[in-house]
Chains A and B, each alone.
Chain A
């Protein structure tokens, strides 16, 4: 590790409340130069409030911030920038219709005169090199980049602004494993150059790979920072929750019912060879694969989102090949994409309206809604998915990520589904809510629901599924009962030969979703 020790940033006794809600209470935070400090906590523990403070979006009610030993106020975003603090946004701040080079210098004021393509490209080159994007042409348009590349370009942009402190807010949430490796390498490079990194994440494994110390937030308070070398995954989880998590994954199904969803020789965009699969009543099937592996293409095709060019899909013996969404839903198929903000929830509508949205015909008669029937339907869904009913009137957008995800998945219970298709069931969800979602899904499966999910999180696929199917580049590699597959085998399957070597750009550009 790099030499750490000089205290760079010190926040002491910071408090911040919104109305009568205390978001941060007497929080202290310390960052040394050249270190990676992991910032951990469940959704709503105060991590994002701290990030907002550091980026100058809000001001603390009390407490002090010192930078390099000097007291500072970071009242505005520009003051924070001037202090050398840079936030790598979850929602990227790059302009898709401009080139990479143009984005790197947009608003910096460093490049005077004409912005000719060649000149900018030359200036951009060294910045891109420092973030490991040696192969990327700076004259490419940002809209053509993968999510991982976007993140790295964003870091390069902030490097160009001479930022000292980089805040990475869940940088890997939307990335495939291969891309995560690249981001990790860049983080290491940043600290080697003497920059400091605050690394906010829900993926605890990453803490051990990358962080020097960890600060844990719980219910708006901070615990003292701990060197990662003194932690184990178990002690870390315990500190996070303030209690034992118990089993992360519930026990698998004892017995499975009759075949429910039968897919035969299915071909669809995203798959390079036809696949077949049978999912039984009460079974959870996990499709493991990186982005663009074809795992989610299977789900999209069943739901009629993408076209099934050949092959058949049968639900309880009824042919539903290329059924449109309304048909699939009325047959009892629910589908939840990997991006809940895009098409999973209505952020500005109440939780109740969200939970009932897929089943409007269940509480209406001849087009007339019944409020009482809607309430009781939403109440049933909420209690089935362990969702606090007092939260039904709040706007879904005001919930934590974990609860939003519960809404996005749970709303399908309103249609009394036979089959639930879920992409990335716990993306961007904290460890506590994650365990809860796993438990809920298993309970539903025990009641006879068939669940098929696609995920790039290998531990999740292995832990939650009864049957595991691995995908690589549009091909089904292997089908095995989850109890019989090893972690190594899965990792090898989904990354193929590149598991031990450094990922090549070729492997990174697999994604066909960009």
Chain B
């Protein structure tokens, strides 16, 4: 009777939208590959590609973790790079002090977990996530400088660690970890009640609350995931370079946020996927690598990255607006 206007068309359009995002991203990756390959032949060399995917893996792992925060509608974390730094430093210190590798990995990650939990609790209590993570980031970075006296910490591991250099099936360990984490988080978001809760909170936190969903728990867990994943990046870096310093991850926050946004996760929450974030990370890493090869100045690189992120966000919003009007 009254329903002509709303039937048909819409559901199909929405189903295809998520796919369209994925396809668009994949096409973006291929285009960047081809253009880069043609203009900078070096770009396609094996060594360079390995370096690129390694960089993409680090950005990607942190970005996949941060996607949880974004999905809950709490925007982004601005303490990602600081969390990675402090974990790297703690890991290097532990190794330098002769701790076994497992302990040097687990303990710093536990610290990252606590850092994430604290921020999550503040946000769940109602504090703005940007302010919370900005403040936390500053404090963490301060602590990192104090405990290192702003010096480089040597891990003093005699042989390079397999975690940083091994290449099972020719693919670096970091990339394997990245892929596994993407797969796990995809399943968690789709198949668990926690994942469902995360997305529902981001869609409408008031409705989520009135439906009895466990908001505090899900928000705190999201911050823990983001923080631990950032910590994993820190550990991986130490494994690769055998040392850590406070300036290791400079600019990392921007790259990670860029990956989440280029992946098309809605900044207001509720919609997005870690697979898309992963693709976003690959785009950002390839872009950065290409610009380095082409010897763009630091400033120029920032400008271009900024425009790519802005353009992607505008494009995704445009597509969303189109299909929901």
Binding site for B on A (CB under 8 A): 18-23, 41-46, 49, 219-220, 241-242, 325-326, 328-330, 335, 337, 342-350, 353, 357-358, 360-361, 364, 367-369, 388, 391, 393-395, 397-400, 402-403, 411, 430, 432-433
10 examples of A-B residue contacts, CB within 8 angstroms:
A342-B207, A343-B206, A346-B203, A346-B270, A349-B200, A358-B212, A369-B192, A369-B196, A398-B6, A400-B6
* B213 A360 Cβ-Cβ under 8 A: yes
User: Which of chain A's residues have a CB closer than 8 A to the CB of B200?
Assistant: 346, 349, 353, 357
Asked whether B10 lies within 8 Å of A348 as measured between CB atoms, the reply is: no
User: In the bound complex, how far is the Cα of B1 from the Cα of A367, in angstroms?
Assistant: 40
Q: Which of A19, A44, A364, A367 contacts B3 (CB 8 A)?
A: A44
Pick the contact of B11: A20, A343, A393 (CB < 8 A): A393
**Residues on the B chain within 8 Å of A399, using CB:** 6
Task: For A369, give its contact among B2, B14, B193, B203 (CB under 8 Å).
Answer: B193
**A369, B11: Cα distance in complex, Å:** 22
Q: How far is the CA of A427 from the CA of B102 in the complex (A)?
A: 60
Taking the nearest CB of chain A, how far is it from the CB of B29, in angstroms? 27
**B193 engages A364 (CB within 8 Å):** yes
Given contacts A343-B209, A347-B203, 19 further A-B contacts (CB under 8 A): A21-B6, A21-B7, A42-B1, A44-B6, A219-B1, A326-B212, A329-B212, A342-B206, A345-B204, A345-B207, A347-B204, A348-B271, A348-B324, A357-B200, A358-B212, A369-B192, A394-B11, A395-B10, A432-B1
* Contact pick for B199, options A342, A349, A432, CB 8 Å: A349
Measured CB to CB, the closest approach of chain B to A437, in angstroms, equals: 14
A357 contacts B2, CB within 8 Å?
A: no
Q: Closest approach, in angstroms, between the C-beta of A239 and any C-beta of chain B?
A: 14
Q: Knowing A22-B4, A430-B2, say if A360 contacts B196 (CB, 8 Å).
A: yes
Query: Which single residue of chain B is at the shortest CB-CB distance from A394?
Result: B11
Instruction: Tell me the nearest residue of chain A to B187, going by C-beta.
Output: A368
Number of interface residues of B (CB under 8 A): 35
Answer yes or no: B303 CB below 8 A from chain A CBs: no
The answer to whether B1 and A241 touch across the interface, beta carbons within 8 angstroms, is yes
What are the residues of chain A within 8 A of B211 when measuring CB–CB? 329, 357-358, 411
Chain B residues in 8 Å Cβ range of A432: 1-2
Cα-based distance from A433 to B1 in the complex (angstroms): 10
The CA-CA distance from A42 to B193 in the complex, in Å, is 37
Is A394 touching B10 in the complex (CB atoms < 8 A)? yes
The reply on B5 being an interface residue by CB < 8 A is yes
What's the minimum C-beta distance from A343 to chain B, rounded to whole angstroms? 4
Within the complex, the shortest CB–CB distance from B225 to chain A, in Å, comes to 15
Q: Which of B2, B9, B15, B214 contacts A326 (CB 8 A)?
A: B214
Set of chain A residues within 8 Å of B7, measured between Cβ atoms: 21, 391
How far, in whole Å, are A347 and B207 apart by their CA atoms in the complex?
10
Q: How far is the CB of B195 from chain A (nearest CB, A)?
A: 8
B208 cross-chain contacts in A, Cβ below 8 A: 346, 357
Residues of B with Cβ closer than 8 Å to A?
A: 1-11, 14-15, 191-194, 196-197, 199-200, 203-204, 206-214, 270-271, 324
A465 to B: closest C-beta gap in Å: 24
A-B CB proximity, top 10 nearest: A42-B2, A343-B206, A329-B212, A346-B203, A343-B210, A358-B211, A44-B2, A394-B11, A364-B193, A393-B11
Whether B210 lies near A368 (C-beta < 8 A) is: no
**One of B3, B15, B271, B324 near A397 (C-beta < 8 A):** B324
Most chain A CB inside 10 Å of its own CB: which residue of B6, B200, B206: B6
The minimal Cβ–Cβ distance linking B201 to chain A, given in whole angstroms, is: 10
Interchain CB contact (< 8 A) of B191 among A348, A369, A391, A393: A369
- Nearest B residue (CB) for A217: B2
Q: Which of A19, A329, A358, A398 has the most C-beta atoms of chain B within 10 angstroms of its own C-beta? A: A398
Is A43 a contact partner of B2 (Cβ separation < 8 A)? Answer: yes
Contacts of A219 in B (CB 8 A): 1-2, 4
Q: Are A400 and B3 neighbours in the complex by a CB distance under 8 Å?
A: yes
CB neighbours (8 Å) of A345 from chain B are 204, 207
CB-defined contacts of A364 to chain B, threshold 8 Å: 192-193
In the complex, what distance in Å separates the CA atom of A403 from the CA atom of B191? 28
Known contacts A343-B209, A348-B271, A395-B14; decide if A19 and B9 are in contact (CB<8 Å).
yes
Whether A44 pairs with B5 at a CB distance below 8 angstroms is yes
- Chain A residues within 8 Å of B210, by CB: 325, 335, 337, 343-344
Q: Which residues of A contact B9 (CB under 8 A)?
A: 18-21
A227–B15 Cα distance when bound, in Å, is 46
A19, A398, A402: the one contacting B324 at CB < 8 Å is A398
Which chain B residues lie closer than 8 Å to A398 at the CB level? 6, 10, 324
CB distance from A61 to the nearest CB of B (A): 15
Shortest C-beta distance, A156 to chain B (Å), equals 30
A18 to B324, CA, bound (A): 12
CA distance A364 to B214 in the complex (A): 15
Q: Which of B9, B200, B203, B212 has the most CB of A within 10 A?
A: B212
* Smallest CB separation, B179 vs chain A (Å): 22
Residue of B nearest to A340 (CB): B207
Q: Using A325-B212, A360-B213 as known contacts, say yes or no to A343 and B193 having CB atoms under 8 A apart.
A: no
Distance in angstroms between the alpha carbons of A266 and B112 in the assembled complex: 47
